């Protein structure tokens, strides 16, 4: 059985499906693990959430939570302007466009806070099942040899499973610049672009052999990566931003 790990899809519907086609994804035979950030920045967050929900429901795909999934949920279900602003400033506007089936022109001229609140309520009413889904996602997935997580694990916590939920979806430098000491398993993660890890869109393999970063920065015009684990070997796949199935 192949394990296929993908992270940080960010509404990149065409690229995600192009990647599934390229790797010849066979849901009845392969184990697909999605490591968070399904929404924001890309153009079709709604389509991705629909598809990911179906993959989980029909094939038992492992779907983990990312920081953008939490940001979107928190903003859309709260009455806190700070959460709204934080989300909108970090790609949330594209998610709003996707769910309201609007183009960018709709938000240019007279779009104001009152309009946003109306759209927010519309999403709450029509897509409560999407919001419930994003809220319910687990923070990590563990196998015999690997830990899959959106952002990483805190090296200062003796039992990584007891770390704060924040670290699972937000941690950066303290994780990837330090050795993993709380487990012998290899940590596979997204969140931090591979360009930031080794100045390349290629999947990053830590020189220490303890962690692998897969986020190729598709949301920033780069590429969507997939790490295949098969027969004890690692195989890398990718599609570029803009590729279609």
Burial class from Cβ neighbours inside 10 Å (0-12, 13-18, 19+) for residue 132 reads: exposed
Residue of 94, 171, 168, 160 whose CA lies nearest to 138: 168
pLDDT in tens, 7-29: 999 999 999 999 999 999 999 99
Place of tokens 């949330």: 92
pTM: 0.97
pLDDT at 110: 73
pLDDT in tens, 187-223: 999 999 999 999 999 999 999 999 999 999 999 999 9
pLDDT < 50 positions in the chain: none
pLDDT at 66: 99
pLDDT at 56: 99
Share above pLDDT 70 across residues of the chain, in percent, rounded to a whole number? 97
CATH of 3-69+134-240, one of 3.20.20.140, 3.60.21.10, 3.20.20.210, 3.40.190.10: 3.60.21.10
Domain boundaries, the chain: 3-69+134-240
pLDDT at 133: 99
Using an 8 Å Cβ cutoff, are 139 and 162 in contact?
no
């Amino acid at each position: 059985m192949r394990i296929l790990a993908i992270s940080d899809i960010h509404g990149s519907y065409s690229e995600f499906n192009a990647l599934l086609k390229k790797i010849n994804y066979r849901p009845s035979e392969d184990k697909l693990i999605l490591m968070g950030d399904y929404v924001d920045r890309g153009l079709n967050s709604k389509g991705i959430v629909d598809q990911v929900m179906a993959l989980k429901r029909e094939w038992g795909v492992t779907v983990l939570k990312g920081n953008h999934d939490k940001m979107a949920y928190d903003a859309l279900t709260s009455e806190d302007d700070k959460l709204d602003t934080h989300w909108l400033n970090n790609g949330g506007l594209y998610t709003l466009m996707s769910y309201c089936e609007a183009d960018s022109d709709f938000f240019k001229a007279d779009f104001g806070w009152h309009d946003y609140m109306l759209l927010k309520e519309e999403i709450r009413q029509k897509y409560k099942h999407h919001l419930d889904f994003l809220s319910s996602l687990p923070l990590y997935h563990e196998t015999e040899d690997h830990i899959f997580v959106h952002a990483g694990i805190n090296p200062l916590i003796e039992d990584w499973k007891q770390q704060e939920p924040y670290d699972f979806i937000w941690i950066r430098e303290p994780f990837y610049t330090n050795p993993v000491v709380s487990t012998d398993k290899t940590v596979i993660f997204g969140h931090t672009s591979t360009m930031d890890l080794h100045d390349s869109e290629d999947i990053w393999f830590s020189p220490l052999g303890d962690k692998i970063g897969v986020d190729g920065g598709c949301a920033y015009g780069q590429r969507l990566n997939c790490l295949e684990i098969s027969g004890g070997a690692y195989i890398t796949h990718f599609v570029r931003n803009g590729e279609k199935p």
